[in-house]
C-alpha cells in the first residue's frame, strides 16, 4: 500500500514516530518501536480507528499535540485562552501545510474563526522534541493566553506512572503509582522548576523496571513555572501534557504577536527505564555546549567557611585542595558587598573590602599558582532589601505595588525584564569576569517567585525566565571560556533549557551520601553523570546531622562531576592522603564515568545499584550501595544486564580508602581473587555481593578480557 502523504514517518535512534497531519494540529499515531520502511500507509489509521461507544459524542476526537475541546476531546485542552469578549476559547484548527527537513517536521494549522495560527515542530533524534507556537492572526483583537501545552498520547498498555516528589535537600524522589482513570497533575508556581516537582514523568507497562517493559518519558525544558498532567480517559486512552503554567493575565497576544511554548523532550524504550533515560543523556550530550574537556575535580568553599572569608584561611584551604588533587577552586557566597551573612548584599556584585581588603587578586593568584582554576559564586537574579542596589532602585524588584512583598532568605527577585535592571546586572557580571581570571560561575537562585509582578503589574515569571536565558546567552558570548553551573538552593533548577547554557548542576544542598544515593539516582533519569555536581562533604552532614565514612562519601560522589566541599583544615595527614587517593581513583575512571552510558539496576529496596558502561561495552564501573539494614542477611546476587553477552569480562573489586563494608565471616571469591564471567552470565547469574553495613558502597570494575575478539 502506498504511503499516505498526510502520514509522516520519523525515524530516531531506536524509536520511530508516525504523525498524522489530516486533522489540523498533528496527531502522533505511533511513538514507539521502529517500523519498517514505507509502513506509514493508510492501514495504520484503519487499524487504530476507534469505534463509537454509547454515551459518547458522535466523533472520537484525536489526542493531537494540541487537543481541542471544541472538537470533542474530553480531557484538558492543549490551548487555553480567549478574546476579551470570551470568544475564541474553543478553537478548532485545520491543516495549513507542513515542511519536512530530515527528521524535523514543522506543521502549520489555522483557525480562521478564532483568528489563530498554530505551528508545531516535531523532531526525532536521540529523543523526540516537540514544541508549539501560537500566533494571533486577528488584525484588531488581542488574545488572552492562559496556557499552551504539548500533549503526547501514550499507548493504552501503559499502566503505571513514575513521577517525582522532593523538597529542599531531597530532590528527585521517584514515586511509582498505578495509572488509574482520571488525572495525575502537578502545578508549579515557584518561578523555578522546584525541588518538589521537577518537570519530568514516565509511564510504562505494568511492572516496568530498569531493563524491562515499555517506557515513555517526558520532560519540559523550561526554568520557570510548569503544569503537568497524565490522564487516563474514560475510553481508556492516555496522554501526558506538559506546558508552562501561566498566571492570570501573564500573557496577552496583541494582533500579530505569538507565543512559543517550551520544548517537551520525550524518550521511549521497549527495554526499560534505563534505556529510556539514556536517550535524555544522549540528547544533552549532542547539544553544542556539552563539555568536551575532562570535568575538573572541584573544591567548593561553602561547607568549609560559609560567610567567614579570610584570605589566609582561604589560601590554606586552597593549598590543601591542591594537595588532594582538586583542579578548580570555587569561592562560594560571601565575597561581595555587605554579604557577611544571608541577610544583605545581593545585587552589589563588587568585591567587599571587609572580606577581601586586597580584592580577589591575591586569592586568585594563589589558586592559579597552585595549578587550579578559580571559580566564583553569584546570585544575579536577586536583590537584598539591605543592599546598595535596592536602596538605589527599589522599583527593580519583582513585587506587586501596594502590597508588602513576601521574602525568602531575606531577599527579593530582581525584575530582569526591565532593561535598566538587566543592563546593570550584565554590567556587573561582565566587569567581574573581565577583571578577574575566572573559569567558573556558580549561578545560584534561592528565592521563589511570590506575587512577582512585572513593571506593568502583570505576572512577571514568563518574561523573567526569558530574560534569564538572554542574560546567560549574552554573558556566555562575551566570556566563552567561562563555565556556568546552575544552582538553585541545590537542585531546584535542573532542566534541559537551562542546560543549553550551563554545563553543571548543583544537584542538591544535601551532601549526606545516604540521601545523595537516592537523589542522584533520581536525577540520573534526566541528566548524565558529567553534569551532576557531586561532592564529598564533611563526615557529619550539615543537612541531616548523619555521619558517614570517607569510603561511602567518595563512592557516592564518584559517579558525577566530582568535588569536595569540606573544611580540609581540620584533616590530618593520613586523612588528606586518603582523600587524595579517592580523588586520584576518580580521575583514573573519569573518562569512563563521564563518557559512558549511565545504568541503573533492579535490586531490593534496601540497596541502590548503578554504574556506567563504556559505549562499546569494553568496560564498566558499578556501585552497589546498602542504604538500610536489610531484611535478608545476604543481598541478592547483583544482575548486570546489557553488557556484551558473548564477551568475557574480568571482574575486580575496587577498594576505596578506609573501606569497611562490615564484619564478614568470609568474602566472596571474586572480591579477593577476581573472576572472569561472560556478559550473559553477568546478566542472568550475576555477582554475589557480601552482606553490607547500612550506608556503605562497594565499587566493581568490569573489563573485557583483552585477547577476546
Ligand atoms: C545555596 C546553594 O545551594 C549552596 O550550595 C550555597 O551556594 C548557598 N546557596 C550560598 O548561599
Q: In degrees, to the nearest 5, what angle opens at C-alpha 600 toward C-alphas 594 and 603?
A: 150
pLDDT of residue 664: 83
Ligand 1: centre distance to CA 565 (Å): 11
Task: List the one residue out of 566, 486, 49 whose CA is nearest residue 298.
Answer: 566
pLDDT of residue 37: 78
Give tens-digit pLDDT for 215-248.
999 999 999 999 999 999 999 999 999 999 999 9
The Cα–Cα gap between 273 and 600 comes to 9
Ligand 1: centre distance to CA 687 (Å): 40
Cα dihedral sign, 642-600-265-92: positive
Catalytic residue among 111, 415, 448, 509: 509
The Cα–Cα gap between 563 and 557 comes to 7
CA 568 to chain centre: 30
Q: Which atom of ligand 1 is nearest to the CA of 409?
A: 11
The Cα–Cα gap between 362 and 85 comes to 65
Share of the chain above pLDDT 90, in %: 96
pLDDT of residue 48: 87
Q: What is the DSSP string of 488-535?
A: BTTBS---TTGGGT-SEEE--S---HHHHHHHHHHHTTTS-GGGEEEE
Top mutation candidate among 299, 302, 306, 381 for ligand 1, by most atoms within 8 Å of CB? 302
* Protein residue whose Cα sits closest to atom 9 of ligand 1: 489
pLDDT of residue 109: 98
* Protein residue whose Cα sits closest to atom 10 of ligand 1: 333
pLDDT of residue 4: 76
Ligand 1: centre distance to CA 333 (Å): 7
The Cα–Cα gap between 319 and 541 comes to 23
Burial class (CB in 10 A: 0-12, 13-18, 19+), 28: buried
Q: What is the DSSP string of 400-451?
A: -TTSPPPPBTTBEEB-TTSHHHHHHHHHHHHHHHHHS---EEEE------SS
Do 511 and 519 form a contact (C-beta atoms < 8 A)? no
Helix axis angle, 311-324 to 573-595, nearest 10°: 60
What are the distances in angstroms from CA 91 to CA 20, 67, 83, 504? Answer: 19, 10, 11, 41
Top mutation candidate among 195, 331, 341, 489 for ligand 1, by most atoms within 8 Å of CB? 489
Task: List the one residue out of 37, 28, 231, 255 whose CA is nearest residue 138.
Answer: 255
| Residue ranges lining ligand 1, Cβ < 6 Å | 302, 332-333, 377, 444, 446, 487, 489-490, 506, 509
Q: Which atom of ligand 1 is nearest to the CA of 488?
A: 3
Q: Which atom of ligand 1 is nearest to the CA of 489?
A: 3
* Protein residue whose Cα sits closest to atom 2 of ligand 1: 489
Helix axis angle, 550-557 to 513-523, nearest 10°: 10
- In the three-class reduction of DSSP (H, G, I as helix; E, B as strand; rest coil), residue 303 is classed as helix
Q: In degrees, to the nearest 5, what angle opens at C-alpha 681 toward C-alphas 680 and 686?
A: 120
Residues in the chain where the model's pLDDT stays below 70: 1-3, 38-42, 708-709
Q: Which atom of ligand 1 is nearest to the CA of 442?
A: 7
Top mutation candidate among 377, 561, 564 for ligand 1, by most atoms within 8 Å of CB? 377
Instruction: Give long-range contacts, CB 8 A cutoff, 24+ apart: 466-470.
Output: 466/417, 467/416, 467/417, 467/422, 468/223, 468/381, 468/416, 469/223, 469/497, 469/501, 470/422
The Cα–Cα gap between 583 and 587 comes to 6
What are the distances in angstroms from CA 39 to CA 2, 10, 44? Answer: 8, 11, 8
The Cα–Cα gap between 59 and 90 comes to 16
Task: List the one residue out of 481, 403, 391 whose CA is nearest residue 441.
Answer: 481
**666 grid coordinates:** 568470609
Q: Which run of H or of E encompasses 473?
A: helix 461-478
Top mutation candidate among 299, 306, 332, 409 for ligand 1, by most atoms within 8 Å of CB? 332
- As a whole number of Å, the end-to-end CA separation of the chain is 44
**112 grid coordinates:** 480562521
341 tagged catalytic: no
Ligand 1: centre distance to CA 206 (Å): 40
Burial class (CB in 10 A: 0-12, 13-18, 19+), 155: middle
The Cα–Cα gap between 335 and 285 comes to 34
Dihedral of the alpha carbons of 452, 455, 458, 463, in degrees to the nearest 10 = -70
What backbone torsions phi and psi does residue 284 show, to the nearest 5 degrees? -70, -40
Length of the chain: 709
The Cα–Cα gap between 607 and 695 comes to 9
Catalytic residue among 444, 448, 512, 597: 444
243 φ/ψ sector (left φ>0, alpha ψ -120 to 50, else beta): beta
pLDDT of residue 38: 66
Q: Which atom of ligand 1 is nearest to the CA of 332?
A: 7
Ligand 1: centre distance to CA 182 (Å): 39
Ligand 1: centre distance to CA 275 (Å): 33
**289 grid coordinates:** 555546549
Task: List the one residue out of 303, 399, 301, 394 whose CA is nearest residue 347.
Answer: 394
pLDDT of residue 305: 98
Ligand 1: centre distance to CA 490 (Å): 7
Q: Which atom of ligand 1 is nearest to the CA of 565?
A: 5
Ligand 1: centre distance to CA 489 (Å): 6
pLDDT of residue 708: 63
Q: Which atom of ligand 1 is nearest to the CA of 490?
A: 3
Top mutation candidate among 446, 494, 510 for ligand 1, by most atoms within 8 Å of CB? 446
* Protein residue whose Cα sits closest to atom 11 of ligand 1: 333
Q: Which atom of ligand 1 is nearest to the CA of 487?
A: 3
509 tagged catalytic: yes
Ligand 1: centre distance to CA 525 (Å): 24
* Protein residue whose Cα sits closest to atom 1 of ligand 1: 489
**479 grid coordinates:** 566570556
Ligand 1: centre distance to CA 446 (Å): 8
- In the three-class reduction of DSSP (H, G, I as helix; E, B as strand; rest coil), residue 651 is classed as strand
Amino acid at each position: 500500500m502506498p504511503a499516505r502523504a498526510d502520514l509522516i514517518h520519523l525515524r530516531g535512534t531506536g524509536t520511530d514516530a508516525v504523525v498524522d497531519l489530516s486533522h489540523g494540529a498533528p496527531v502522533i499515531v505511533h511513538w514507539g518501536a521502529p517500523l519498517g520502511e514505507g509502513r506509514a500507509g493508510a492501514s495504520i489509521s484503519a487499524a487504530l480507528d476507534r469505534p463509537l461507544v454509547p454515551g459518547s459524542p458522535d466523533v472520537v476526537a484525536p489526542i493531537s499535540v494540541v487537543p481541542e475541546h471544541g472538537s470533542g476531546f474530553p480531557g484538558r485542552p492543549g490551548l487555553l485562552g480567549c478574546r476579551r469578549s470570551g470568544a475564541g476559547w474553543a478553537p478548532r484548527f485545520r491543516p495549513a501545510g507542513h515542511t519536512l527537513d530530515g527528521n524535523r517536521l514543522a506543521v502549520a494549522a489555522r483557525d480562521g474563526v478564532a483568528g489563530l495560527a498554530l505551528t508545531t515542530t516535531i523532531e526525532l533524534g536521540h529523543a523526540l522534541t516537540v514544541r508549539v507556537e501560537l500566533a494571533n492572526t486577528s488584525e484588531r483583537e488581542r488574545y488572552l493566553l492562559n496556557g499552551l501545552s504539548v500533549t503526547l498520547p501514550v499507548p493504552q498498555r501503559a499502566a503505571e506512572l513514575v513521577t517525582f516528589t522532593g523538597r529542599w535537600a531531597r530532590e528527585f524522589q521517584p514515586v511509582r503509582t498505578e495509572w488509574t482513570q482520571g488525572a495525575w497533575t502537578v502545578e508549579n508556581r515557584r518561578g523555578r522548576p522546584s525541588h518538589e516537582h521537577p518537570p519530568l514523568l514516565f509511564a510504562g507497562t505494568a511492572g516496568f523496571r530498569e531493563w524491562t517493559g515499555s517506557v515513555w518519558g517526558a520532560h519540559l525544558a523550561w526554568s520557570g513555572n510548569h503544569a503537568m498532567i497524565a490522564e487516563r480517559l474514560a475510553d481508556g486512552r492516555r496522554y501526558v501534557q506538559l506546558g508552562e503554567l501561566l498566571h492570570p493575565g501573564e500573557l496577552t497576544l496583541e494582533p500579530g504577536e505569538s507565543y512559543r511554548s517550551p520544548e517537551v523532550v520525550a524518550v521511549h524504550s521497549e527495554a526499560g527505564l534505563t534505556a529510556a533515560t539514556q536517550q535524555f543523556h544522549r540528547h544533552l550530550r549532542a547539544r553544542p555546549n556539552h563539555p568536551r574537556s575532562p570535568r575538573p575535580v572541584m573544591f567548593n568553599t561553602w561547607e568549609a567557611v560559609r560567610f567567614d572569608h579570610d584570605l589566609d584561611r582561604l589560601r590554606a584551604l586552597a593549598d590543601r585542595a591542591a594537595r588532594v588533587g582538586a583542579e578548580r577552586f570555587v569561592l562560594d557566597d560571601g565575597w561581595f558587598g555587605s554579604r557577611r551573612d544571608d541577610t544583605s548584599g545581593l545585587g552589589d556584585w563588587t568585591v567587599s573590602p571587609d572580606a577581601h581588603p586586597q580584592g580577589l587578586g591575591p586569592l586568585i593568584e594563589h589558586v592559579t599558582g597552585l595549578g587550579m582554576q578559580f571559580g566564583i559564586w553569584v546570585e544575579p537574579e536577586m536583590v537584598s532589601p539591605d543592599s546598595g542596589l535596592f536602596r538605589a532602585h527599589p522599583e527593580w524588584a519583582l513585587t506587586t505595588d501596594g502590597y508588602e512583598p513576601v521574602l525568602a532568605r531575606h531577599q527579593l527577585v530582581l525584575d530582569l525584564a526591565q532593561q535598566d535592571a538587566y543592563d546593570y546586572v550584565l554590567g556587573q557580571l561582565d566587569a567581574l569576569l573581565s577583571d578577574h581570571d575566572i573559569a567558573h560561575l556558580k549561578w545560584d537562585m534561592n528565592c521563589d517567585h511570590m506575587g512577582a509582578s512585572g513593571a506593568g503589574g502583570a505576572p512577571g515569571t514568563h518574561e523573567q525566565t526569558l530574560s534569564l536565558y538572554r542574560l546567560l546567552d549574552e554573558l556566555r558570548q562575551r566570556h566563552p571560556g567561562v563555565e556556568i553551573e546552575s544552582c538553585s538552593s541545590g537542585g531546584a533548577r535542573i532542566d534541559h533549557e537551562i542546560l543549553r547554557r550551563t554545563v553543571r548542576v548543583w544537584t542538591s544542598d544535601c551532601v549526606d551520601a545516604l540521601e545523595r544515593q537516592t537523589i542522584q539516582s533520581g536525577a540520573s533519569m534526566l541528566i548524565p553523570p558529567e553534569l551532576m555536581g557531586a561532592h564529598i562533604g564533611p563526615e557529619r552532614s550539615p543537612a541531616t546531622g548523619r555521619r558517614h565514612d570517607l569510603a561511602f562519601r567518595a563512592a557516592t560522589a564518584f559517579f558525577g562531576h566530582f568535588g569536595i566541599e569540606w573544611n580540609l583544615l581540620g584533616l590530618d595527614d593520613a586523612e588528606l592522603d586518603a582523600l587524595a587517593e579517592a580523588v586520584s581513583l576518580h580521575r583514573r575512571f573519569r573518562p569512563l564515568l563521564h563518557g559512558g552510558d549511565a545504568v541503573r539496576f533492579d535490586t531490593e529496596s534496601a540497596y541502590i545499584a548503578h554504574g556506567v558502561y563504556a559505549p562499546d561495552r569494553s568496560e564498566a564501573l558499578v556501585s552497589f550501595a546498602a542504604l538500610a539494614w536489610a531484611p535478608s542477611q545476604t543481598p541478592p546476587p547483583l544482575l548486570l544486564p546489557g553488557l556484551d553477552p558473548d564477551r568475557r569480562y574480568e571482574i575486580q573489586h575496587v577498594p576505596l580508602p578506609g573501606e569497611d563494608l562490615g564484619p564478614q565471616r568470609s568474602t566472596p571469591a571474586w572480591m579477593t581473587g577476581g573472576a572472569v564471567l561472560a556478559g550473559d552470565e553477568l546478566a542472568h547469574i550475576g555477582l554475589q555481593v557480601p552482606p553490607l553495613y547500612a550506608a556503605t558502597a562497594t565499587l566493581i570494575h568490569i573489563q573485557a578480557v583483552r585477547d577476546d575478539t
